[in-house]
Structure 1
Amino acid sequence: MMGLKKIFLSGLICISFYQTEAQVSSSNADTWVAKDALGRTIEPAKYKTPRKDKYAGIFYFIWQGAHGYDQHKGGAADGGVMPKTPGDTVSPYDITKLLKANPTDPKYGPIHAFHHWGEPYFGYYLADDEWVIRKHAQMLSDAGIDVIILDVTNAAIYLPQVTKIANTYLKMRAEGLSTPSISFIVNSVPKQTVNNLYEQIYKKGLFSNLWFLWKGKPLLLCPPEAVTPEIKNFFTTRHSWAWSKGQQWFADGKDKWPWLDHYPQSYGWHDSKDKAEQVTVSIAQHPMSNIGRSFHNGKEPEIFSTEKGLYFEEQWKRALEVDPEFVFITGWNEWVAMRFNDGASKTFLGKSIEKGETYFVDLYNAEFSRDAEPENGVTKDNYYYQLVDNVRKFKGTGKLPVYKTNTSMSIDGKFSDWKKIPAVYKDDSGDTFHRKHPGWGRINEYVNNTGRNDIIESRITSDQQNVYFYVKTKDPLTPSDSPDWMHLFIGVKGAANQGWEGFQYVVNQRVLSNNTATLHNLKKDCSLGKSSSIKYRTDKNELELVIPKKQLGIIGNEFTLDFKWADNSPVDGNAMHWLDKGDAAPNARFAYRYIKQ
């Protein structure tokens, strides 16, 4: 975060926070199953039933592009994303790529210029990219995040970006979609910044449906000197800082909410020392303190296991033991930090450094960074599913229904009989939104027009011989000869062949005619095995198909299978394409589960 140089070196921070529960859509995302790239599973049977009064918030950053590109240029007068200049021809400066090109003498950008620790999976985006805003809202809602905590730690409140995010969230909610609520974190000149937030947003009632409330009022975390009588009357106030042990500010923990802490993390309390109100969970700490993603059991190992999330898991272990009302997760999408060589830091990456040597305060590379957002690199989307798994352990999940009746369906292109089928699975409408937005520095723009058939509903049923599938899209289906058209992935639980990403079969990898398609076996490397033909029909925006149980290796009436639909996502072995190519139902790596007894 931008203010962390001051935080780490001289120790100043303030946070502002608001909490109403995230709007809940009808998709029942907490019942979806998944398996990440490391084989770790997310299944409802692992978790408790939903627990009331448990909330999760995550650090969220909105300064990408607000302070220049090739050079640091302060900021725009309104705090918005700065226009690029003809001179912005070199950045983004990606530290991971610079180190790969020259490990001993990386060609960093200028002093104070922003550097990315790696490449976000969605590209080197700017904070006002609506396509990215929508994707983030969807992913975080699916993960059970109640509130994004917007970083305004350098006094600028980035009102244009806040407005863009808020208006996008309000549009999504009007479309029936789920979004987190919105909050802020303050650091520099807290009285001025808090007053600015209050005057520009809260006093005007802007985005009030998105405010994050705590104990009946918007929650504000900041030093006591920022709390005027008016602020105290409007907000529930708490004091926040980084770290707790041996820190004078933390005292006995009453009304204190750390956002970063060493394991085992201390908790903040309000009513009683025996009742935890808040605990922080972070993915890592700093390259300056040499506490990275692999840090655990009290040390940073010489050989990293960056992709595994060992530090993150250790922090979650403590949080789940404490079981507070609120977990504050650091973080989601920081990505960039300024380059310094002023000698203010005496250590970097576990070694002593002197004035004139380069250091970065908050991040450096994959190991020394704190983003759960998927990366186009070593961390991939592993941290996202680790986040999902632990939020579900904390908050609980809904339970999956069990279906017992046998129902035979006619695959005739008439769909009224599907209305009586109770196994219904919803998907977000509107997530085929197209992207066309400038990227960072030399990147002219990002364009993504792959969104095509917007899947909104699936159904499934079975009888003694067959399994029947149904899917509905928002608008009429494109022709069946369209590339990567309406794939159906199926994974039968207990099968000897685990297939690719838990799916042993894919339908529609080759469509033979308007009523016949193929069912292919999927091998571990995502290549296709033997195939057979299956019957399907479409009409307008609906599709139905039937697969004999014997072709799925199912014997009897009791079975469990996972399935997902995907349109215009290439079947090329990269499961992360379900995040940004076409549409997937359910989203990303998630799958629906059908239990038949």
Structure 2
Amino acid sequence: VRYWDEWDVLFPTMQKMKAEGNKVPQFCFWSFNGPSITVVQDLYEKVYKAEKYKDLWFYWDGKPLLLYNATPSVDANGKDIKHPNPNYDPAAKTDPNHPHYGDPEYAEEFYQDYTRAVKEFFTLRNMWWGYYKWAGERFIGMEGNWSFGYDLGDERVRNMDPMDLVSRHNGVREEAAVTPAQHSSSLTGKSWSRAHGQPELNEYDLPVPTHVPWLGKTVENPEGYGIYFQERWDEALAANPQFLYINDWNEWTAGKYQPEEGKTFDFMRRKSPFFFVDQYNSEFNRGIHPMKGGYTDNYYMQMAQNLRRYRGARPIPELSGLKEIAVDGEFDDWKDVAVEYRDTAGDIFHRNYKGYAGLVYTNDSGRNDIITGKVAVGADTVSFYAETAGDLTPHTDSNWMLLLIDADRNHDTGWHGYDFLVNSQVVDEKTSTVMRYADGAWTEAARVPLRYAGKALELAIPRELLGLAGDALSFDFKWADNPADLESSISFCLNGDTAPNRRFNYRCVWKR
């Protein structure tokens, strides 16, 4: 399968985002089932040989990486797989004057092996599920075999030292797989652990209350706490390989399969006339992508946290010295404030797209595209600056350019950690309010100067009000425009724009 139509939308979009200053991923291809040699040759000729989207190619060991089937005669559906040769020319087999006479890459109707060009051009790695054996040979943890997950439902794999699951190349730990779960068909879900296996399931095939090791207590809905995911992260981080393969962002389809007519399948600890393999419900799926309701973006946040443990993170930039800002709408005094708090550009596009079963998903809440912000600490005030991609809409708009501040950096105080909310009630074009969260409600604490013009906005808040005294301070903050409501922190993820994205915050660190 090749997804040319989708790629011709995805890759130019990535290039457009890159040109706008956003960080974008790089890509490589993976081909395994079916006529994989044919697919790989097609990719080589139409993408790589043509140097298409070259700035987005992912390189490994100095060459573009290609994940492939090193035993192409065998795939998940069987063996003796045929690989049609698109460059086949019968004359190359019979005509001595043919420029490719006798060359099997042109003279044979079906490929028997990957072409010389493919072998020379790519860094090749054999990628498949981490079975103990595949195609009659030991697979998991063997030299050159990458895995996109481990078959921990198999006792032989489960009993291996986690370090031995890691793929090696030239004796070096090269690749480890990190997945949020395994398969519903093997009963290895998001709450599975090495110590306790798969928890008991209720009538909805969801786990009963289960102990979460990293939390140290038993919880309802354990599928939202990443038990299996964190075990794989901890094992991978201990191995510290050169490469992590995280599987997966989404798989989109929940495939319902039926055994042969009149037969049943062992599924969810019962005999069933059908079964699911990959996606089934909120316990049995490998999705990391955020969901509406349920555990929302827990797996995304867990992934981000562990990626920082693996790759490290840049030090937080620090502000120093007093900087007085005149809140006058001129903005010139912000030019020498070097530290910027940047956000993704172009993320307020509207949505209108068909979904499953005739549903149409629409969202036109994107309004002010916040792209950067600044902070200045004066003797008596903390000043804030925000800039948008286009001209700001009027301050009379609903939930307009909200500023949330976690002054004590304590998530257990305030509203989801936020102690102050600015601009929820804008008095006029020169005055806004600061709301304080106490006793479960927002109440007005002060009125502060505000100015905005064109693409920029500035305001100043007394340090005493925020509790930010002394010659050194730090606090967290976040900008948000046009969330539909402030019912939970997930409200920032669904509508309008936030800076930074989702549930993340900026941290301001200052010393005199």
Residue 161 in structure 1 maps to residue 9 in structure 2: no
Gaps of 5+ in 2: 73-113, 153-157, 201-207, 211-221
Letter paired with 2:443: G
Match 1:180 to one of 10, 20, 25: 25
Q: By how many angstroms is 1:552 displaced?
A: 1.1
Matching residue of 1:283: 180
Q: Distance in 1 between matches of 2:32 and 2:423?
A: 53
Question: What aligned pairs does 1:438-453 form with structure 2 within 5 A after superposition?
Answer: 438-443=354-359, 445-453=360-368
Q: By how many angstroms is 1:197 displaced?
A: 2.2
CA contact (8 A) 1:289 1:347 kept: no
Question: What aligned pairs does 1:506-517 form with structure 2 within 5 A after superposition?
Answer: 506-517=421-432
Structure 1 range deviating more: 256-265 or 333-342: 256-265
Match 1:268 to one of 167, 186, 201: 167
Structure 1 residues 165 and 523, CA gap change in structure 2 (3 angstroms): farther
Residue 360 in structure 1 maps to residue 258 in structure 2: no
3-state DSSP of counterpart to 1:218: strand
Matching residue of 2:199: 301
Structure 1 residues 539 and 331, CA gap change in structure 2 (3 angstroms): same
Q: Distance in 1 between matches of 2:364 and 2:502?
A: 17
Matching residue of 1:7: none
CA contact (8 A) 1:454 1:475 kept: yes
Moved over 6 A (4+): none
Q: By how many angstroms is 1:484 displaced?
A: 0.8
Matching residue of 1:421: 337
3-state DSSP of counterpart to 1:420: coil
Match 1:213 to one of 34, 59, 63: 59
Matching residue of 2:456: 542
Residue 391 in structure 1 maps to residue 290 in structure 2: no
Matching residue of 1:242: 129
Q: By how many angstroms is 1:209 displaced?
A: 1.6
Match 2:15 to one of 167, 170, 173: 170
Q: Distance in 1 between matches of 2:317 and 2:483?
A: 29
3-state DSSP of counterpart to 2:275: coil
Q: By how many angstroms is 1:380 displaced?
A: 0.8
Q: Distance in 2 between matches of 1:251 and 1:569?
A: 47
Structure 1 residues 468 and 301, CA gap change in structure 2 (3 angstroms): same
Match 1:522 to one of 437, 440, 443: 437
CA contact (8 A) 2:265 2:274 kept: no
Matching residue of 2:394: 479
Q: TM-score, length-normalised on structure 2?
A: 0.81
CA contact (8 A) 1:191 1:225 kept: no
Structure with bigger RCO (C-alpha 8 Å, 6+ apart)? 1
Q: Distance in 1 between matches of 2:400 and 2:437?
A: 17
CA contact (8 A) 1:239 1:255 kept: yes
Larger Cα-atom Rg: 2
RMSD: 2.0
Q: Distance in 2 between matches of 1:312 and 1:550?
A: 43
Q: Distance in 2 between matches of 1:281 and 1:225?
A: 24
Q: Distance in 2 between matches of 1:457 and 1:300?
A: 45
Q: TM-score, length-normalised on structure 1?
A: 0.70
Q: Distance in 1 between matches of 2:338 and 2:49?
A: 47
Residue 410 in structure 1 maps to residue 326 in structure 2: yes
Q: Distance in 1 between matches of 2:488 and 2:250?
A: 22
Matching residue of 1:224: 70
Letter paired with 2:190: R
Gaps of 5+ in 1: 1-155
Number of aligned residue pairs = 435
Residue 381 in structure 1 maps to residue 297 in structure 2: yes
CA contact (8 A) 2:291 2:297 kept: yes
Letter paired with 2:181: A
Q: By how many angstroms is 1:169 displaced?
A: 0.7
CA contact (8 A) 1:283 1:312 kept: yes
Matching residue of 1:257: 146
Q: Distance in 2 between matches of 1:596 and 1:232?
A: 54
CA contact (8 A) 1:464 1:557 kept: no
Structure 1 range deviating more: 488-497 or 305-314: 488-497
Q: Distance in 1 between matches of 2:254 and 2:181?
A: 15
Q: Distance in 1 between matches of 2:64 and 2:462?
A: 55
Structure 1 residues 169 and 290, CA gap change in structure 2 (3 angstroms): same
CA displacement, residues 38-86 of structure 1 (integer Å, 9 cap, x when unaligned): xxxxxxxxxxxxxxxxxxxxxxxxxxxxxxxxxxxxxxxxxxxxxxxxx
Q: By how many angstroms is 1:234 displaced?
A: 1.5
Structure 1 residues 164 and 495, CA gap change in structure 2 (3 angstroms): closer
Q: Distance in 2 between matches of 1:339 and 1:570?
A: 36
Letter paired with 2:57: W
Q: Distance in 2 between matches of 1:572 and 1:257?
A: 44
Matching residue of 2:246: 329
CA displacement, residues 180-235 of structure 1 (integer Å, 9 cap, x when unaligned): 11222223222222223223322322222212111111212222244332211111
CA displacement, residues 91-141 of structure 1 (integer Å, 9 cap, x when unaligned): xxxxxxxxxxxxxxxxxxxxxxxxxxxxxxxxxxxxxxxxxxxxxxxxxxx
CA contact (8 A) 2:450 2:460 kept: yes
Question: What aligned pairs does 1:338-357 form with structure 2 within 5 A after superposition?
Answer: 338-343=255-260, 346-349=265-268, 351-353=269-271, 357=273
CA contact (8 A) 1:493 1:559 kept: no
CA displacement, residues 385-422 of structure 1 (integer Å, 9 cap, x when unaligned): 00000111111110012323111111111110111112
Structure 1 residues 494 and 484, CA gap change in structure 2 (3 angstroms): closer
Letter paired with 2:426: V
